[in-house]
Amino acid sequence: MSRQRSWQRRDQILQMAAHNGLASVEELSTKLGVTPSTIRRDLALLTTQGKLARTYGGALSLEPHPEASLRQRLGEAYAAKQAIAAWAAEQIVPGESILLDAGSTTAALAQLLSGFSNLSVSLIGLTALEVLAEAERIEVVLLGGRLRTLSQSFVGPVTESALERMSFDRAFMGADGVRADRGINEKDLEQTRLKELMMSRADHTYVLAHGAKIGQAPFHAWALMPSRWTLVTDSSAPTDEVARFRDRGISVVVVDAPPPAPSML
């Protein structure tokens, strides 16, 4: 099995241990299609890395909500993300300066922007950069900084210093979770500090978050929101949570996402 697949398998083990509380060697072996000895080696490595605590027959996650990598998130809620990105692209006017956060939904937006002309797009994420690298009719600015591997994004003082010298017509933000009373939820304070600075440099802020992220708070770091911003989500978002945003005077756009294609298996 390739190294990439080994890391994917270990990511799945962390997710299963967190969601189920306890994952046995036998259960993991069956679900992941590998031998028990392979699972035991994975568990030993994850324990050494401080991500799991070994128990009799299996492992317990030390992170109640382990952060998913960008690679894992790219295939989640695909139709919803495409619909959200399509709405966002329609708001952009030629000649504007746009700021894209890192994330799978903003990467979908970058794909749509590749056909634009007379546009400046600033990025903090490698996925969007890969999409726009050959877009000859738009200006692409990579802000740089320290690479955060899980999110494939740049963070830290170098990124912040670049932002302080720029301004934007529109900023399109991602989120691990978003709540009406607290704002954007992320894994750590370095991310939330950067997001606050990004939003402060834009005339219009949009948070692009599919329905499963609305009202959720998987972590404990929060980005405070500007006085006016727009939440863009899809029709799977809980109606009571959407109402909480609107009750606070936050503009909410709910797009219709086509249902997922039926499985052929």
Segment 232-242, tens digit of pLDDT: 999 999 999 99
pLDDT of 67 reads 56
Task: Name the 3-class secondary structure at 238.
Answer: coil
Give DSSP secondary structure letters for 167-203: -EEEEEE--SEEETTTEEEESSHHHHHHHHHHHHTEE
Using an 8 Å Cβ cutoff, are 200 and 147 in contact? no
Q: What is the mean pLDDT of the chain?
A: 86
Q: What is the rounded average pLDDT of the residues 132-146?
A: 95
Reported pTM:
0.74
From CA 126, how far away is CA 110, in angstroms rounded? 11
